[in-house]
């Protein structure tokens, strides 16, 4: 099966984990989910009992693009990636979702097919799948949770708008700069510097900004030569986050 062909794997409901699985309902796994923090421990436990829990191998698919499924996936452990493929099979990466976040909420809310695929990035990623109806009831019964969901969707829409503008107006080099800035802002700060860990893979950056691995490698090499980026064994360091931000904003402001 080519990358461009949809898989049927995620169209089946995920198999539940045994009750003894680490991170399952009895371990209070949903305490880690940011969206559910406004709930009481008893309310989170009730949600956990309605979930199907499953661990995934690295690169295993959680959700299939265009699948007619509606569950929301709470990422309890590990990291997953939201992506799609062009007709020619080229991977288009949208975002990486860390533990504590969720995926699949749009189909749960609007009842439409999946807008993208989701695959596990880390071995043993633990996901709790909540059916659409209980998720909708949760949102309508808890205004604070519903507001958090609306803010999350607003953030996704703003991010999508920024990316559309970048793809429409910026050259490939500048799009790499902008993606590096996004990663750095999510990283650990050390004075003027920002630490990006683990080191981003060139092909992953290329998939997110619609360019080639060779372009990404060349841009990072240029930034390293200019003293703006430093590569360490376990991290990529943006030595002056403010300088990188000015570099990106100067180009954005000139288009």
pLDDT in tens, 159-200: 899 889 999 999 999 999 999 999 999 999 999 999 999 999
Strand partners, 118: 63, 82
For the stretch 69-89, pLDDT in tens is 999 999 999 999 999 998 888
Per the prediction, the chain carries an average pLDDT of 89
Amino acid 226: pLDDT? 96
Cα separation, 216 vs 31, in Å, equals: 38
> What does DSSP assign to residue 154?
H
Q: What SS3 class is residue 125?
A: strand
- Among 196, 207, 198, CA closest to 237: 196
CA distances from 10 to 13, 22, 27, 55, 120 (A): 7, 23, 26, 13, 12
Amino acid 236: pLDDT? 97
Global pTM? 0.79
For the stretch 92-124, pLDDT in tens is 999 999 999 999 999 999 999 999 999 999 999
Amino acid 252: pLDDT? 77
Domain 9-163 fold: Jelly Rolls (2.60.120)
Amino acid 20: pLDDT? 37
Q: Residue 60: which residues within 8 A CB-CB, separation 6 or more?
A: 9, 119, 120
User: Mean of the pLDDT values across residues 233-237?
Assistant: 95
Q: Does domain 171-253 have CATH number 1.20.120.530?
A: no
Q: Is the pLDDT score of 3 beyond 90? A: no
- List the single range of 6-15, 40-49, 59-68, 147-156 with lowest mean pLDDT: 6-15
Q: Is the pLDDT score of 10 beyond 80? A: no
Q: Which long-range contacts (CB under 8 A, 24 or more apart) does 196-205 make?
A: 196/235, 196/236, 196/237, 196/238, 197/234, 197/235, 197/236, 198/234, 198/235, 199/231, 199/234, 199/235, 199/236, 200/236, 204/93, 205/176, 205/179, 205/180
pLDDT exceeding 70 applies to what percent of the chain? 88
Within the chain, which residue ranges are assigned CATH 1.10.10.10?
Answer: 171-253
CA distances from 137 to 76, 132, 142, 146 (A): 21, 9, 9, 10
Q: 3-state SS of the chain: helix, strand, coil percent to 5? A: 45, 20, 35
Helix (H) or strand (E) holding 74: strand 72-77
Burial group, residue 243, by CB count within 10 angstroms (0-12, 13-18, 19+): middle
Amino acid 4: pLDDT? 47
Within the chain, which residue ranges are assigned CATH 2.60.120.10?
Answer: 9-163
Q: Is the pLDDT score of 51 beyond 50? A: yes
């Amino acid at each position: 099966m080519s990358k461009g062909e949809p898989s049927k794997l995620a169209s089946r409901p995920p198999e539940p984990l045994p009750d003894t699985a680490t991170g399952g309902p009895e371990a209070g796994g949903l305490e880690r989910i940011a969206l559910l923090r406004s709930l009481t421990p008893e309310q989170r436990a009730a949600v956990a009992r309605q979930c199907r829990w499953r661990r995934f191998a690295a690169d295993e698919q959680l959700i299939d693009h265009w699948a007619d499924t509606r569950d929301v996936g709470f990422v309890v452990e590990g990291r997953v990636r939201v992506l799609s493929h062009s007709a020619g099979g080229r991977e288009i990466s949208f975002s990486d979702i860390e533990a504590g976040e969720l995926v699949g909420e749009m189909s749960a809310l609007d009842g439409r097919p999946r807008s993208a695929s989701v695959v596990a990035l880390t071995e043993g990623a633990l996901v709790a799948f909540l059916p659409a109806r209980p998720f909708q009831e949760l949102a309508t019964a808890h205004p604070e949770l519903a507001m958090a969901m609306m803010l999350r969707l607003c953030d996704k829409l703003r991010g999508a708008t920024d990316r559309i503008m970048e793809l429409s107006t910026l050259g490939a080099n500048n799009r790499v700069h902008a993606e590096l800035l996004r990663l750095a802002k999510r990283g650990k700060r050390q004075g003027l510097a920002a630490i990006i860990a683990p080191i981003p893979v060139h092909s992953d950056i290329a998939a997110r900004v619609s360019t080639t691995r060779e372009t990404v490698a060349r841009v990072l090499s240029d930034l390293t030569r200019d003293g703006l980026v430093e590569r360490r064994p376990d991290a990529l360091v943006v030595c002056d986050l403010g300088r990188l931000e000015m570099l990106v904003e100067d180009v954005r402001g000139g288009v």
